[in-house]
A and B are shown apart, each in its own frame.
Chain A
Amino acid sequence: MSNLNINKLTTLLKVQYSNMLEYRVEIALWAISGIIPFFMLNIWTNNNLNESINLSNIMLSRYFLSAFFVRQFSVVWVVFTFEEDALLGRISPYLIQPLNPFFRYFAQHIAEQFTRFPFAIIIALIFFLFNPESLWIPSLGIFLLSCISTFLSFLIQFLIQSIIACLCFWTEKASSIERLLFIPTLFLSGLLAPVISFPEKVKSWIYITPFPYLIDFPANLLSGNKTNMISGFLMQLIWISILFPVFKRIWNLGTKKYTAMGS
């Protein structure tokens, strides 16, 4: 049974990868649109703002480069695709298939990440060309661990967005809720400023929320900055185990509610 599922998933992955390759230019542009962390790094180092948080220029540039990578491989857009599919009624044929449609979206995301990989590497190489002193090679163990934590971060975001996407069954336009949720993700995840630089008041509660584990934790791990590995992974797993049942429940409720457009 699970063998069959793996078969389905690999087929989906192959199909979606060739599909995504068709849109290389699009994905390259998308990769470029993720370079905000580098601009932020420029503000930080150019104004010596990092002195107060005891991070050297080199460590900070590694942090922001890692943040760029983590962001590249944890971008989720499932709600926008799902909304379009639901509004146009394309969901109906998917529902008949003996496979949860979210497998299809999941495969799309993974395939897109593979397509994006070379572009992200090129951007990183350009970055090292300008900042050769910040070049570093993480040990294999750390590299693997940060890959895992990036994937977990992707899973958390994928689950949150899938839950929001399921709201399409009730509200039709769920993407505006996603845009709302994107704001705290943007400012609290560590994409624009490392979480250790946040005011104490914010730091006292932020580690309970999922946000620091989306970018700050994997980026700290990859760049070799100080971070608590055990609690980081633990919190990521806890959030996944909270979100997954919610998603399953809302999916079951939603599909019962679904009536296809025009009926």
Chain B
Amino acid sequence: MKLKKYIKIYTLFLYTSLSSELEYKTNLIIDFVTAILSLIGSIFLLTIFFQNTDNIGGWNFQQALIIQGIYTILNGITNTWFNPNLTEIVKHIREGTLDFVLLKPVDSQFFISLKKIAPSGFLEIILGFALLFYCIRINQININLAFLFLCLTTVICSILILYSLWFLISTTTIWFVKTWNATEVLRSFLYIGRFPLNSFSFSLKIFFSIFIPIAFITSIPSGVFLGLAKLWEIILEIIVCGIFLIASRRFWLFALKYYTSASS
């Protein structure tokens, strides 16, 4: 019953935000070109790295491309869902319109996280998948059901971790009002997800596994694709994902207690 209601609400969200976004058609085309150029740029950077060496951090070029593919998919999802919605939180809180969201008979986290959609990110997701399929071919990976299941699980976990990270940071707006730049910091750290974690020095590796779980976001799923990931890594990823989801939910409910609306 409840699920049905939420699905219905979500289709309405989709309809309204798509129709408003399609008003800016040239914008959409420019964003498509940007996505393509951005992928070309990062592959260009990789070729510079591999000019005189055949592996960085134990990954060869073909394997490193898988990370690019997964990063591109995740970045597309970020641009389609997380970025447009979660930057909106800042606006809601500054202008006090969060009141209206809280008064609605739907879950506020659901409303805030999924209200908008930016279709320009779709192309990035498609590009990422295309690159991934190409990588599966050149790395001669055998596809079977268990493999697909594991890949899907880890990628979904990555998406959820990524969402929780964005949501956690956006929630801090309730105290600091303007955290637009905090999401920018997160964005620049996530940029590291384009490269294998092993290519960094030991201290950065620890930093990127514990404080900002970039290791879990791109490296482990890529490892699964290559059949290199160990079972404990996959289980750890699922546990980390659960912790992050619960933490972001708890933090949101906790933060709402401190929400005092604008000018009061």
Contacts and interface: CB of A to CB of B under 8 A. Distances in A.
Interface stretch (A87-95, A137-145, A174-182): A174-182
B260 interface: no
Contacts, number: 90
B41 A187 contact: yes
Contact of B49 (A30, A47, A187): A47
A35 B181 CA distance: 14
Interface stretch (A38-46, A102-110, A217-225): A38-46
Given A23-B178, A39-B192, A49 B187 contact: no
A198 B200 CA distance: 21
Interface in B35-70: 37-38, 41-42, 44-45, 47-49, 51-53, 56-57
B176 A25 contact: yes
Contact of B45 (A23, A26, A192): A192
B24 A173 contact: yes
Contacts of B45: 187, 192-193
Interface in B20-39: 24, 26-27, 30-31, 33-34, 37-38
A42 B52 contact: no
A261 to B, nearest CB: 15
Contact of A35 (B26, B30, B48, B188): B188
A27 to B, nearest CB: 8
B200 A46 contact: yes
Nearest to A47: B56
B199 interface: yes
A186 interface: yes
Nearest to A197: B48
A33 interface: yes
Interface residues of B, number: 37
Contacts of A51: 52
B48 A29 contact: no
Nearest to A130: B203
A242 interface: no
A42 B208 CA distance: 13
B53 A49 contact: yes
Given A36-B191, A43-B56, A46-B201, A198 B48 contact: yes
Specify the main secondary structure of chain B where it touches its partner.
helix
Interface string A13-34: 0000000000101110110111
B184 A33 contact: yes
Q: Which 8 A-B pairs have the closest CB atoms?
A: A52-B52, A187-B41, A29-B181, A33-B188, A183-B37, A33-B185, A33-B184, A180-B34
30 contacts: A26-B178, A26-B180, A26-B181, A29-B184, A32-B185, A33-B181, A33-B184, A33-B185, A35-B188, A36-B188, A39-B200, A39-B204, A43-B49, A46-B57, A47-B49, A47-B53, A48-B53, A49-B52, A49-B53, A51-B52, A52-B53, A173-B24, A176-B27, A179-B30, A179-B34, A180-B31, A180-B34, A183-B38, A184-B37, A192-B45
Interface of B: 24, 26-27, 30-31, 33-34, 37-38, 41-42, 44-45, 47-49, 51-53, 56-57, 176, 178, 180-182, 184-185, 187-188, 191-192, 195, 199-201, 204
Given A26-B178, A42-B204, A52-B53, 4 more contacts: A33-B181, A36-B188, A43-B49, A184-B37
Interface of A: 23, 25-27, 29-30, 32-36, 39, 42-43, 46-49, 51-52, 171-173, 176-177, 179-180, 183-184, 186-187, 192-193, 197-199
